Amino acid sequence: MDIPEESITQENVHMSQKPRRNFTLEQKAEAVRIVHQSGKSVNQVATEMGLTPSALRNWVKQAQIDHHPNPQGQLTTAERKELSELRRELKRVQMERDFLTAGAVSGGTPPAHCLKKAATFFARDSSDPMS
């Protein structure tokens, strides 16, 4: 059966997808606690709480890593957050270095494209307390 192309819209394509929900750390911890204390399977608890089993399974796995770090290189939630912040800071410092290097190479005046890129970056990142 052919569907006319003009009848396919963005709304029709995504009708079957549920909107993404955000959960607080407390909600995740409660769901993990229920899995551990109830003796029920992850699938049962997920169904009862209206969650996807894969999401709940990920929360249980991350809680295990957070409470019992292991030598396999898996990061705790705090370590993930720190890594993200360090990557953001590294990017900012690299851009500053590139900006200053471009100025030194061109005789003291950075090329216009460097100025534009730096202005865009610093305008977007102005809420960062490290700036």
Give the domains, in start order, of the chain with CATH numbers.
22-73 (1.10.10.10), 77-124 (no CATH)
- Tens digit of pLDDT per residue, the chain (131 long)? 555 555 555 555 555 677 888 889 899 999 999 999 999 999 999 999 999 999 999 999 989 888 876 667 788 888 889 999 999 999 999 998 888 887 666 666 656 666 677 777 777 755 555 54
CB neighbour list of residue 121: distance below 8 Å, 6 or more residues apart: 92, 95
CB neighbour list of residue 23: distance below 8 Å, 6 or more residues apart: 31
